[in-house]
A and B are shown apart, each in its own frame.
Chain A
Amino acid sequence: SQELEQSPQSLIVQEGKNLTINCTSSKTLYGLYWYKQKYGEGLIFLMMLQKGGEEKSHEKITAKLDEKKQQSSLHITASQPSHAGIYLCGAAMKTSYDKVIFGPGTSLSVIP
């Protein structure tokens, strides 16, 4: 079974709408990362969260890590076509802090 799960698997939204992507772990996380990937390209770093309850924002994207450090959410406000892509959460578990594993990804399409 996967150590990291993401929901939803895919998302289609109208431009201007808000959306949320979730990442859940069955184990306590050492660090949580959000990346964006366009098909066939490299990963673009978005944010890193380490402390329980931490929240970070960059432009119209906000990410939170819950107090127990087992779940994170990524929220996009007023989505734009440029937000389209695959969003991957990555995490290092406390048992292997130097090894980052990735969730299965959430595919986002934004319709103009």
Chain B
Amino acid sequence: DTEVTQTPKHLVMGMTNKKSLKCEQHMGHRAMYWYKQKAKKPPELMFVYSYEKLSINESVPSRFSPECPNSSLLNLHLHALQPEDSALYLCASSQYRDSNTEAFFGQGTRLTVV
């Protein structure tokens, strides 16, 4: 099983809403990642978790709040987003934080902020 599952697939939210994106993997990977991808652009790294601890935050605004409740789950809590935050949000996992191992990506959540 090399699957990373993201839910929901699509999300539309208002600027005053609070919502969460969920990511799950059962490969025993200890590193998990959130990426943001705008249309026709490559994915940009947002956060890296290693052994359930936040190890990299790429200066992401506080309206994005990641959480790793256990080694299989990664959440991204969203609050007071702006329309420019609309994008495809991708979750990925790899065996370790060291890029010696390949990262597997989920199908993404298409987020629209209205």
Contact status of A98 and B105, CB under 8 A, knowing A42-B90, A43-B90: no
Q: Mark B56-93, 1 if CB is under 8 A from A, else 0.
A: 10000000000000000000000000000000101010
B30 to A: closest C-beta gap in Å: 12
Contact between A45 and B103, CB atoms less than 8 A apart? yes
Q: How many residues of A contact B (CB 8 A)?
A: 23
Contact between A97 and B102, CB atoms less than 8 A apart? no
Within 25-51 of A, Cβ neighbours of B (below 8 Å) are at 30-31, 33, 35, 40-45, 48, 50
B51 to A: closest C-beta gap in Å: 13
Contact between A45 and B105, CB atoms less than 8 A apart? yes
Closest to B41 in A: A104
Contact between A40 and B108, CB atoms less than 8 A apart? yes
Closest to A107 in B: B40
Interface on B for A, CB 8 Å cutoff?
Answer: 4, 6, 31, 41-45, 48, 50, 55-56, 88, 90, 92, 97-108, 110
Interface on A for B, CB 8 Å cutoff?
Answer: 30-31, 33, 35, 40-45, 48, 50, 88, 92, 97-105
